[in-house]
Amino acid sequence: MMDHYELVTMPLLLALDAGGTSTRATLTDRTGRCISYARGGSGNPTSSGTEHASAQLVVAAAAAVRAAGVAPSEVTSVLMAMAGMSVNPSTDWITKPMQQSGFEAPIRLESDLLATFFSGTWEGEGYGVVAGTGSAGIRVRSGDVERSADGLGWLLGDVGSGFWIGHQVARAVAAALDGRAGPTALTALLLEDLGVAATGERVLDGRLETLRLVTDALYRLRPVELSRLAPLAFTAADDPTAVSILAEAAEALAGLFNAIASPTVTGPLVLGGSILAQEGLVAESVSAAASASGLVTRTRHVPDGMVGAIVLSLRAAGVEVGGDVYQRIVTTLAELR
C-alpha cells in the first residue's frame, strides 16, 4: 500500500484482463509501476453472459483498488481487454455496474488478443497467436490490429484449439468403442477423466454399454467444455491416434500463422494459451512456420494478457511505452503476483 497523499495527486490507471476462466486487475501509475493486483472469476461476456461477466469484472476492479487503499472514484481511467468486444458494441452492460460500484472514470474496451501481444513486447509491430480454449491470430502494425484470423468459435473455427483437440479426443474414443476405429490409449484416459467405469464387453442394444455411458457423460457437458479433454492428447504422447490429432492441430495453427503473415510486417511472435504453453509438436509447428517466414525476430510465450492490458491502458492515457516502461510493468507486476 502506498502513502495516500502520494496516490491521490497522481493519475491512477486500472487495467483488467478478462478471460474465460478468470479476470485479472492491476492498478498502476503513469510510469508503469504496478500498485496493486487482484483477481475475479470469468469476465468473458460471450461465454459467461454479460451479467456474470460484469459482476466478476467489478469484483476484480474493486479488490484491486481496495488493496491499494484508494476509493473507486480516485481511479482516473479504466481499460478492459476481453474477447468479442467488437461484436457487442454497446458497453452499458459493464459501464453501469462499474458506476454503481463507485468507478467514475471512462471505460475503454480493447481486444484480448492485442493485450496478449503487448504482454510479450512493447514493439508496435509483430504477430500474436493464441490457442487456449479457442484459437486466433493477429498481425499488429503501428500498435493496432491490422489483420485477424480465426477466433470464429468452436462450431465454425478455433482450429487447433483446446476445444478442437478435446473434441477430436472425444470423437476418436467414441469411434474406437463403436468399432469404427482401432483401439486407442485415449479411451482409458477419457474414462478416468469422466469417472466412468468400463463395463468390459457388456453389450446393450447392439453396442458396448461403455460407449453409452461415455456418450451420456459427454453430452451432459456444454460443447465448449470438451476443451478440458485436450490435455489427454498430450498425455498419450505415444498413441498413434493422439499423435495424429496433435499433428492436425499443429498443421492448422501453422496455417493460422501463415494466414496473418505479411511481408511488410516484421517483429516478435507472441504466443498465448494453454495449448501453445505445452512443449512439443504443436508449439514447434507454429515456431517453425514463423522461422520459415523470415518475418519473426523472436518468439515468446506469455501466460495471459495482464501486462499487455496495462501497456494498452498507458498508451490510451497518452504515455509512450518503450522498453523501460515495459520492463517496469513486468518487474513490479511480478512482485505483486
Under rule CB under 8 A, residue 175 binds a second copy: yes
| Contact indicator for 330, 307 with CB cutoff of 8 Å | yes
* 271 in Cβ contact with 130 (< 8 Å): yes
Query: Of these, 202, 207, 298, 337, which contacts a second copy (CB under 8 A)?
Result: 207
Q: Single out the segment in contact with a second copy by CB under 8 A; choices: 66-74, 91-99, 218-226, 265-273.
A: 218-226
Rg (CA), the chain: 22
Q: Which is nearer to a second copy, 12 or 286 (CB)?
A: 286
**Residue 124 interacts with a second copy (CB under 8 A): yes or no:** no
What does the block give as the cell for 279? 512443449
CA angle at 24 for the pair 18 and 30, rounded to the nearest 5°: 105
C-alpha cell at 216: 451420456
Cα angle 101, 107, 111 (rounded to 5 degrees) comes to 125
286 binds a second copy (CB under 8 A): no
* CB-nearer residue toward a second copy: 24 or 139: 139
Cβ-count burial of 145 within 10 angstroms (0-12 exposed, 13-18 middle, 19+ buried)?
A: middle
Among 1, 10, 106, 179, indicate the residue that binds a second copy (CB under 8 A): 179
State yes or no: residue 201 binds a second copy (CB under 8 A).
no
Of 322, 323, 324, 306, nearest in space to 28 by CA: 306
Binding piece for a second copy, criterion CB under 8 A, among 18-26, 123-131, 175-183, 289-297: 175-183
Residue 182 exposure: Cα atoms within 13 Å on the Cβ side: 5
* Range in contact with a second copy (rule: CB under 8 A) among 3-11, 126-134, 201-209, 299-307: 201-209
- Measured between alpha carbons, how far is 103 from 300 in angstroms, rounded to an integer? 35
Residue 320, amino acid: E
- 288-327: b (≥16 Cβ within 10 Å) or e: ebbeebebbeebeebebbbbbbbbbbbbbeebebeeebbe
- Between residues 29 and 150, which has the closer beta carbon with respect to a second copy? 150
Q: Is 247 in the site for a second copy (CB under 8 A)?
A: no
- All three cell numbers of 174, joined, read 467414441
Can residue 206 be called a binding residue for a second copy (CB under 8 A)? yes
- Closest approach, Cβ 140 to a second copy, in A, equals 10
Kindly tell me which of 78 and 159 has the beta carbon lying closer to a second copy: 159
What single letter denotes the amino acid at residue 179?
Answer: G
Say whether residue 219 binds a second copy (CB under 8 A): yes
Phi first, then psi: give them for residue 202, nearest 5 degrees: -60, 130
Binding mask 135-164 for a second copy (x = CB under 8 A): ---xx-----xxxxxx-xx-xxx-x-----
Which segment (64-72, 90-98, 166-174, 293-301) binds a second copy by CB under 8 A?
166-174
Q: Does 171 bind a second copy (CB under 8 A)?
A: yes
Q: Which stretch binds a second copy (CB under 8 A): 97-105, 117-125, 219-227, 289-297?
A: 219-227
Quote the cell numbers at residue 197: 467405469
Instruction: Name the residues that contact a second copy, by CB under 8 A.
Output: 86-87, 111, 138-139, 145-150, 152-153, 155-157, 159, 167, 170-171, 174-175, 178-180, 204-207, 211-212, 215, 218-219, 223, 226, 255-256, 259
